[in-house]
Amino acid sequence: MGSSAASAKLVEYDLTIAEQTVNFSGQPAQAIMFNGTLPGPTLRFTEGDTARIRVRNALREETSVHWHGLLVPNDQDGVPHVNRPPIMPGETQTFEFTLKQHGTYWFHSHTVLQEQRGMFGAIVVLPREPRIRADRDYVAMLSDWTDEGPDEVLRTLRRGSDYYQLKKGSVQSIAGAWRHDALGAMFKRELARMPPMDLSDVAYDRFLFNGQPEHVLDAKPGEVVRLRLVNAAAATYFYLTYAGGPLRIVAADGNDVQPVEVERFLYPIAETYDLLVPVPSDGAWELRATAQDGSGKTSLFIGSGSRHFAPDVPKPNIYQSMAGMTEMSGMPSTQEKPVAAARTGEAMAGMTMPVEKTAAASADHRGHEKMAAMPGMTMPATPKPSASADTVIPMGGMDDPTRPNAPYASLRALTPTTLPGDHPVREITLRLQGDMIRFVWFLDGKTLTEADLITIRRGEIVRFVMINESMMHHPMHLHGHFFRVLNGQGEWSPLKHTVDLPPMATQVIEFDANEEKEWLFHCHILYHAKVGMARIVHYEGSPPNLFLAHLDKTEHDPRFYWGEVQALSHMTEGFVTAQNNRHGLTAAWQVGWQHVEPTDYEAQLTYDRYVNSFFSVFAGAAVDRESNRGILGVRYLLPLMFQSTSWVDSKGDLRIDLTRRFRLTDRVEIFGTGEYDTRRKWEGSAGVEYILGKQFSVVGRWHSEFGWGGGLYLRF
């Protein structure tokens, strides 16, 4: 004890946050960096050291830094308006804390969307007594890069555009469904009012390893390299494959685990994995990170000389995935089985179903045996895996061994992680939900600024039962705590700070409530957290938090402006709108002149209140050449994705219209609208649109009053 205390020391760093021009894709763009590098400098400590980190803000906007995965005092966690004030322009804040653990962690901004622009770096905390020997020890940070500003990315997502799917080649169309024998699945999905699924929201320009599309690490044949991997991407999961054989996992989220080999695995956002990578012989051996949606990759070459390439990961079949998710969406609730299993420590990571033992699982156990012979490895006694670990697997990808899920089912702690049996248990169910069309993400139907705090009490065991009711993965991160991932390993359940929730799956975690005050819990897809997929965990009896009074004024309920205009030879139609998560103000118009004397026009100004993915209400005023009137109505999404709008006006007239768009191919849509008004009777239109790019389309359109015409469709 005296020796350890004597070896502990004060380690100081200075970080400056500033803008800098970068060029990753042939186009200059603005990044925000720590000390002028992307990623920022690696902060290195030894367990027991005291860290003193001075952070200077050289930006023209406020910023912040969060120490992801480190157990630090509440006021050092770095989340603005939760733990401390933001770092204002020109200001320097000092963080100071003792390193209570060892392992691989990272730091990043927790302000607006700055993380997407390069604000991240790695943290390495060495143990007092090393357990694992390696010839070389490297950090490898994964990230995704877009030349667009992240606010523009979110604006594009918020306006319901599928531009990024078009850019990635992942648009779902009728022709594509027909080619993949998935028309029936498409019909079922639309009958259930589910929009097309995609594995990632954004089309990125580059994926990077240590800030480069390709990065080389020095190593010699026969050496064993320890790779400290950090997925610092804003919105991208990766599949990892290695040219030199299986991947040997020795730590997850900073915590050592019983070594295990996997051929490949899905690497969720915000997690860290430590790998032992052998260099088989002469040459450069590729560790490849392939974006989950197949839209790109980045490579890390270990060694020098002729290159040996990692196996390809097949691109996802979005139509097959759509069929699987459609079937799963009709399954009964799976809440009871995981919750009951959790009480005995045998819940699986994800929605569970009986299957045969997989080849991947067998390989994992073989790999475990091989690891005992690796240089520098000491193996703890290994109890026999529980039966449930061999007989159930999570749904949402494990049926395809070439595209597995995260490797949770194979992770086993070095020592038992069972929590005290005499502590009271608080069980909290959280439903992860989202609206892909409007791009709003919820927990239990509420965004962060709408929701109450999650109140817990010190001394409890807190169990989160998380049910993902959306069609996307969500990496859920809890600040200030490690939790047990109940993955079928019983008392050997691994400890993590971030866990993936696959689509339509259930995950159970539990932790010892041993802290105080308030801690953030959120999805680590940056754009999901930005629009509200987060909660604040509050310890009962904590003193009033003055920072929370400003939370509603922060970034979690952004307002965006956009519009659309059809400028045609016989008419024009369009709208401009301002929207946040729940509210919108929209001005819309339609003006036609062909075959009509005098020119016919109509305009509306409405306030909309978004209720849920299917339903919103609105009120406002309508103006046409005959009268002005107030209107009150509803918008409702019908089965088969028919959008209905109904209103009654101040003169007692009723209007009902139905609109539907059909995506024939990647770039061709047909559309139609039918409308009945008790004053003006029937009206209808139909047309075809060819999509040129993000902003422009070519349109041909027929209207029952204005006839035929054509022109441009502009989105701005």
Cβ contacts of 549 within 8 Å, gap of 6 or more? none
Task: Note the pLDDT tens digit of each residue in 554-570.
Answer: 678 899 999 999 999 99
**Has residue 625 been placed in a domain?**
yes
653/399 Cα distance (integer angstroms) = 55
**Model pLDDT, residue 518:** 97
Torsion angle of alpha carbons 267, 23, 43, 412, nearest 10°? 0
**CA end-to-end span of the chain:** 65
**Has residue 300 been placed in a domain?**
no
**Would you tell me how many other CB atoms lie within 10 Å of the CB of residue 220?**
12
> Is pLDDT above 80 for 324?
no
Q: CA 379, 381, 386 angle in degrees (round to 5)?
A: 120
> Is pLDDT above 80 for 406?
yes
Taking each continuous run of H as one helix and of E as one strand, the counts in the chain are 10, 45
Nearest in space to 361 (alpha carbons), one of 312, 399, 332: 399
Of 115-124, 418-427, 544-553, 674-683, give the lowest mean pLDDT range. Answer: 544-553
Tokens of 664: 């024939």
The number of distinct structural domains making up the chain is 2
DSSP bridge pairs for 184: none
Which runs of consecutive H residues, i.e. helices, occur in 490-533?
A: 526-530
In the block, tokens 């079922």 appear at 188
259 touches 371 (CB < 8 A): yes
> What is 268-295 written as a DSSP string?
-TT-EEEEEEE--SSEEEEEEEEETTSS
Answer with the residue of higher pLDDT: 436 or 141. Answer: 141
397 touches 403 (CB < 8 A): yes
Domain extent, residue 116, equals: 1-126
> Is pLDDT above 70 for 62?
yes
Give the end of a domain, one of 65, 95, 126: 126
Nearest in space to 509 (alpha carbons), one of 520, 518, 500, 522: 500
Q: Report the CATH number that the domain containing residue 589 is assigned in CATH.
A: 2.40.160
654/710 Cα distance (integer angstroms) = 30
Pairing of strands 297-304, 283-291: antiparallel
Angle in degrees, 0-180, between the axes of helices 183-191 and 318-329, rounded to the nearest 10: 40
Tokens of 444: 């239990």
Tokens of 663: 């995506």
**Has residue 674 been placed in a domain?**
yes
Give the end of a domain, one of 126, 161, 193: 126
> What is 88-154 written as a DSSP string?
-TT-EEEEEEE----EEEEEE--STTGGGGT-EEEEEEE-SS-----SEEEEEEEEEE-SS-HHHHH
**Model pLDDT, residue 3:** 44
641/661 Cα distance (integer angstroms) = 8
CA 64 from chain centre, in angstroms, equals 20
**Has residue 409 been placed in a domain?**
no
DSSP bridge pairs for 520: 536
Tokens of 48: 């027991």
Indicate the helix (H) or strand (E) that contains 186: helix 183-191
**Has residue 16 been placed in a domain?**
yes
Q: How confident is the model at residue 328 (pLDDT cuts 50, 70, 90)?
A: low
Q: How confident is the model at residue 198 (pLDDT cuts 50, 70, 90)?
A: confident
> Is pLDDT above 80 for 370?
no
509/500 Cα distance (integer angstroms) = 11
**Model pLDDT, residue 331:** 43
262/68 Cα distance (integer angstroms) = 26
693/370 Cα distance (integer angstroms) = 52
Supply the DSSP symbol for 80: B
329/324 Cα distance (integer angstroms) = 9
Report the phi/psi class of residue 221: left, alpha or beta, with left for phi > 0 and alpha for psi in -120 to 50.
Answer: beta
**Has residue 231 been placed in a domain?**
no
**Has residue 164 been placed in a domain?**
no
Residue type, 583: H
> How far, in Å, are 66, 84, 98, 542 from residue 549 at the CA level?
20, 12, 29, 15
Give the end of a domain, one of 86, 102, 126: 126
573/590 Cα distance (integer angstroms) = 4
Of 61-70, 494-503, 677-686, give the lowest mean pLDDT range. Answer: 677-686
694/712 Cα distance (integer angstroms) = 13
Pairing of strands 136-145, 224-231: parallel
135/567 Cα distance (integer angstroms) = 66
* Residue 494 CB burial class (10 angstroms; 0-12, 13-18, ≥19): buried
Q: Residue 653 half-sphere exposure, CB side, CA atoms within 13 Å?
A: 14
Q: How confident is the model at residue 1 (pLDDT cuts 50, 70, 90)?
A: very low
Q: Report the CATH number that the domain containing residue 61 is assigned in CATH.
A: 2.60.40.420
In the block, tokens 């992680």 appear at 417
479/67 Cα distance (integer angstroms) = 9
Answer with the residue of higher pLDDT: 587 or 318. Answer: 587
**Model pLDDT, residue 321:** 66
In the block, tokens 């475990």 appear at 368
**Model pLDDT, residue 402:** 87
562/715 Cα distance (integer angstroms) = 8
Q: CA 525, 229, 462 angle in degrees (round to 5)?
A: 55
Q: How confident is the model at residue 608 (pLDDT cuts 50, 70, 90)?
A: very high
**Model pLDDT, residue 548:** 84
Task: Note the pLDDT tens digit of each residue in 613-640.
Answer: 999 999 999 999 888 999 999 999 999 9
Nearest in space to 248 (alpha carbons), one of 376, 78, 440: 376
Q: How confident is the model at residue 484 (pLDDT cuts 50, 70, 90)?
A: very high
Task: Note the pLDDT tens digit of each residue in 431-453.
Answer: 999 998 899 999 999 999 999 99
274 touches 249 (CB < 8 A): yes
**Has residue 549 been placed in a domain?**
no
